[in-house]
Amino acid sequence: MIKPILIYCYDAYCGWCYGFSPVMKKIAADFKGKFDIEVLSGGMMAGEQAMPIEKAGPFIQEEYRRVEELAGVKYGEDFLWHINNPDKSDWVMNSEKPAIALCIFKELYPERQLEFAGDLQYALNYEGRDLDDDEAYRHLPEKYGIDPDLFYTKLKSEAYKEQAYYEFALMKQLQVTGYPTVFIQAGEIKFVMVARGYTEHTALSERIEHVLTETGTYTYCRPSSSLAQINIKL
């Protein structure tokens, strides 16, 4: 028997996902051994949706304070400089590269993908690293014991770019319209949403427990195909 799957739909540039990261870490600890976790990148700001910080800055200036107040996370001074001085910043907010980085990492350390996704958001929102710049990832291969040359070769690979865009397409199949969103896979083609938008730990824990019990997914057998290879339906 294979454990059920919790699917966490996030985007590296989603401020509410940054606030939600501590909640997800607690959930992973609470339910350790009861399900696998799959983190999928949403592509919220990929392709035509990518935008310079000059355009996104005014919205983030208003929103980040709400995230800090409700979620208890803090944004770093370097990040806030770009947000408060968008006319002086050359940042382009593009979800593509961090999504590719996550695909690479999931292949190497699937059991630590939630941790890596959190590191990407910390690098952006606290350390003020530009995730559209290759240098923003320089510290992560060392932390996780990955050969830097291998990591950067894969970061420029079309194969991993295709994987990232496949995940973006999965978001549409799952009808995800905002981030963060969390599902429990309750069958090969059945997905039960347990969170849409920022959700407090207690509420999310109770919903997960209820879904796992009611659907019997504590004994659900995961298909042999990986999530990125199956046809997802609601």
Ordered by start, the domain boundaries in the chain are 5-50+92-229
Q: Which residues of 72-88 are buried (b: 16+ CB within 10 A; e: fewer)?
A: ebebeeebbebbeebee
**Domain spanning 5-50+92-229: CATH 3.40.30.10:** yes
Is the pLDDT at 220 greater than 80? The verdict is no
- Helix ranges restricted to H, 85-189: 96-108, 113-125, 139-144, 148-155, 158-173
For the stretch 72-115, pLDDT in tens is 999 999 999 999 999 999 999 999 999 999 999 999 999 999 99
The Cα 89–Cα 226 span in angstroms is: 40
- Write down the pLDDT at residue 215: 73
User: Could you tell me the pLDDT band of residue 222, with boundaries at 50, 70 and 90?
Assistant: very low
The Cα 122–Cα 206 span in angstroms is: 27
